[in-house]
Amino acid sequence: MRGPHNLWRLVQTGATLERTGAMGPVLEAFQAPPRIRLLVRLLAKPFGFLGLRGDTSLPPVPRALTALGPAFIKFGQIMSTRPDVVGDELAMQLRFLQDKLPPFPLAEAKRTIEVELGEPWDALFSEISEPIAAASIAQVHKARLATNGEEVAIKVLRPGIERAFRKDIDAFYLAARTVEILSPASRRLHPTDVIRHFEGVVMGELDMRVETAACAEFAANTGGDAGFAVPTTDYVHSARRVMTMEWIEGVPLGDIAALDAAGHDREALGDRVLQLFLSHALRDGFFHADMHQGNMKVAADGTIVALDFGIMGRIDEYTRRVYAEILYGFIRKDYRRVAEVHFEAGYVPPDRDIDEFAQALRSVGEPIFGMDATRISMGRLLSYLFEVTERFGMETRTELILLQRTMVVVEGVARSLNPHINIWQVARPVVESYIAESIGPRAFARDLMLTARVLARFGPRLPVLAQEALQRQSQPREVEVQMGSIHPILWFAAGAVTTLGSAWLISLL
């Protein structure tokens, strides 16, 4: 479906923003320069009549995004957590996109359940409610199992959602390629790779079997986390387009009035949301990557309940250590070390000046330390960060997109609960704990043991590999070639054994 015909979708997008009256608020929210605003309006205005009309009962921006479809709704959900970027009024309007979208009929949901589970719905469930929450991809019904009367939540994909997402993603590919052609400077941001990453995330979200497995894995990882819960999954009543899980009562995290009425400590909740995310990302390398208010509840005892596991992030151990060192450096105001970590990880080209980069990082970090969160303009901060990345030739790292995006969302959620939150102060104990466990002598010994375990798998083959290497050496060659011919595994094994022996001796001393 990719091709020039997707140009119509891009034209329709601009026309819809113009027709619904959303163009002005969007440009204003992102503080677009006057010349850009004028150019966009001049290009979009003549095509306004081609735009989608949308639901006239909604404010302009939610009206435009819901009319444009699920991919645009996802973007709106992210922005709904950032009143510091888009303003309080627009952020409140965008909350509508989290779980209050127009639902599809109950009869359609029942048909999907029957097709996916292979039985009449009333043979599986004694009752199914009307939709209680509807988002961009699926909607949720409260139900009761026919076997034991247990209350459950059933999540059902929207009809035709796969095709709708594919249409938007194809248009995004065209836009990304167009940007790369017209603006060579943008190529460092890898627009096409970003869209490809987004496509992979979304396609995974459209298979409920993957989400069911993710929910189970997340529950296993976080079972010991105080004040946090994940619903248990029901594999028997789940399939590609249907997911069934435990029903848990609670107050939506975005309903500030209800949280206050229930007597919950919002400051403590804000701290916990941020610390839980960091703990899951650093400790487990597997985190909830869609943590907006619509995907979390607060139980009567104050426990935060996570919902919707369609988008989960995963980062390897090395990336976790890099991320933790960067956060820890900022917390300690050690900008030189933060700069070194960026260079060591390859995030900044090696031909750039490390001292200049450290100075640029200081100019980012110093103004926000000790300052009340209400006085920080995240819009200006993000704009300046973009300037820094451009100045030092930093490229987009697709493996970090979900982590960075989720950090932005989680910070926004924490701010909505406690506008005066100091994110560095709250993050410090989690980051310090991870640093103590993962960077130091104990972590070094653990890494060596893991290396030895991997080498042990080659144990039965080591004699054969040694013999082959010696046979190759016996042939007349240059010394350099002979040394290079020894199998890499043998060199690695020898080095590892030597290092393990040294570590053992050190431990004895």
Residues involved in catalysis? 290
Q: Kindly list the strands in the beta sheet with 228-229, ordered across the sheet, starting from the edge strand earlier in the chain.
A: 228-229, 304-306, 296-298, 251-252
Identify the pLDDT of residue 213: 94
Nearest to 69 by CA among 154, 176, 166, 3: 166
Instruction: Name which of 421, 358, 415 is nearest 388 in CA terms.
Output: 358
Most confident of 126-130, 192-196, 428-432: 126-130
Contact, 245 vs 152, CB < 8 A? yes
More confident residue, 115 or 401: 115
- What is the pTM for the complete model shown? 0.72
> Is the distance from CB of 72 to CB of 94 less than 8 angstroms?
no
- Do strands 304-306 and 228-229 pair parallel, antiparallel, or not at all (unpaired)? parallel
Measure the CA–CA gap between 27 and 228, rounded to whole angstroms.
38
pLDDT in tens, 361-370: 888 777 766 5
Distances (CA, A) of 333 to 348, 364, 368, 479: 19, 11, 11, 50
DSSP string for 207-268: -HHHHHHHHHHHHHHHTT-TTEE-PPEESTT--SSEEEEE----EETT-HHHHHHTT--HHH
3-class DSSP assignment, residue 410: helix
Q: What would the pLDDT profile of 121-144 be if each residue is shown by its tens digit?
A: 999 999 999 999 888 889 999 999
Higher pLDDT, 310 or 269: 269
- Give the residue with greater pLDDT, 499 vs 386: 386
Please state, for a pLDDT cut of 90, what percent of the chain lies above it: 31
